[in-house]
Amino acid sequence: MTTAPLIIAIPSKGRLKEQVEDWLADCGLALRAAGGARGYSASLDGFDDVQVRLASASDIASQLHAGEVHLGVTGEDLLRETANGGAAAVLLLTPLGFGRADLVVAAPRSWVDVETMADVDDVAHLYLARTGRRLRVATKYLAQTRTFFARHGIADYRLVESGGATEGAPAAGAAELVVDITTTGATLAANGLKVLAGGLILKSQAHLAAGVAADWTDANQATCRRLLAIFGARARAKRVAGLTWPAAQEAAARAAVAPFIDEGAPTRAHGALVERVRLFAAAAALGEAGVGPVSVEQPAYVFQPTCPEADRLALALQGQAAAGSI
């Protein structure tokens, strides 16, 4: 009897696809495409019970919320937009540090008196009084725009759903303001737009997320825990460095690095793992205690007995099961 695989969705094209593949490779998980470079499925070396699906970034968010995949990597902006009040269906597990972009409110640079979100509220009132129409805001991010504008007390506007290049809407006469995603602001500036002060809605980046509504078996959860442990161990290894000292100086060394151990640095036989930002301070403390020679190693992985991400997922799945049984 074949067990249903754990399904992971990753981007099928573009820079984000390359970054996800690099991240997996860095974790020691080689991605093997099925059907050649243009295929839409793949596998992970060492995980025969994992199926990788390639899809657009927006489709991945939808599939996670619909419970069609167990895990997925896509932008936080898309995950939050697709949620639209149903955030419990998706659990954000790990920010990945790439795919960074800001979701912002932008206005024409020619609007010299509009620099802040408070100015937008004033202009919206004046625009309605003068024209009898509400200020138009072009965006693909309808849910997040409504929430953000409500938080700022702005009501005299209407949303224009953008199906193409949002930043071109003001120049085309389709809207007065835009809410759009940007990495450098260069495209907005090229279209005569400026980001408003206080207009940052979300600092987004790629996230590994779980579809809580997916069909999770015990085997799926066990496989997921193994994967999350690898991801966590690799990320942890990048934050720490291993110090090793002579066995004969164990007592003096332990006393010298006691403050670092108190901060949470794990110890090992004749050594300790310290945060890289504290590495030189720890080495100096050992030197002042006459301990040496001290060597430094960069571990590839640092595994721990527990996996916080897997534990959070288990709790979310328990909550989902309890809600479904009511």
Beta bridge partners of 182: 102
Backbone phi and psi for residue 86, each to the nearest 5 degrees, phi listed first: -115, 40
Question: What does CATH list as the number for 6-99+206-215?
Answer: 3.40.190.10
Beta bridge partners of 107: 194
Q: CA dist 103 to 112, 181, 310, Å?
A: 22, 4, 29
Q: What is the CA 27 to chain-centroid distance, rounded?
A: 17
Whole-number Å distance between alpha carbons of 180 and 139: 6
- Side by side, the strands of the sheet bearing 271-275 are 267-268, 271-275, 240-244, 295-297
Q: Residue ranges of the domains in the chain?
A: 6-99+206-215, 101-203, 239-297
pLDDT in tens, 15-31: 999 999 999 999 999 99
Question: What does CATH list as the number for 101-203?
Answer: 3.40.190.10
Residue 185: count of CB within 10 angstroms of its CB: 14
**Neighbour-count burial for 40-68, b at 16+ CB within 10 Å, e otherwise:** eebbbeebebbbbbbbbbbbbbbbbbebb
Read off the pLDDT of each residue in 295-311 and give the average, rounded to a whole number. Answer: 96
Q: Which two tokens stand for residue 30?
A: 């080689």
- Residue with the bigger pLDDT between 8 and 324: it is 8
pLDDT in tens, 260-288: 999 999 999 999 999 999 999 999 999 99
Whole-number Å distance between alpha carbons of 156 and 2: 57
Q: What is the CA 169 to chain-centroid distance, rounded?
A: 29
Whole-number Å distance between alpha carbons of 192 and 322: 52
- Side by side, the strands of the sheet bearing 6-11 are 31-34, 41-44, 47-55, 6-11, 71-75, 206-211, 90-95
Nearest to 302 by CA among 280, 276, 270, 277: 276
pTM of the model: 0.91
Whole-number Å distance between alpha carbons of 265 and 281: 13
The answer to whether the 101-203 and 239-297 domains have the same CATH topology is: no
Domain spanning 239-297: which CATH class is it, in words? alpha beta
Give the contacts of 30 (CB within 8 A, at least 6 positions apart).
24, 44, 45
Whole-number Å distance between alpha carbons of 54 and 72: 10
- Rounded mean pLDDT of the chain? 94
* Per-residue confidence band for 83, with pLDDT thresholds at 50, 70 and 90: confident
Nearest to 240 by CA among 199, 215, 271, 270: 271
- pLDDT at position 326: 41
Answer whether residue 250 shows pLDDT above 90. Answer: yes
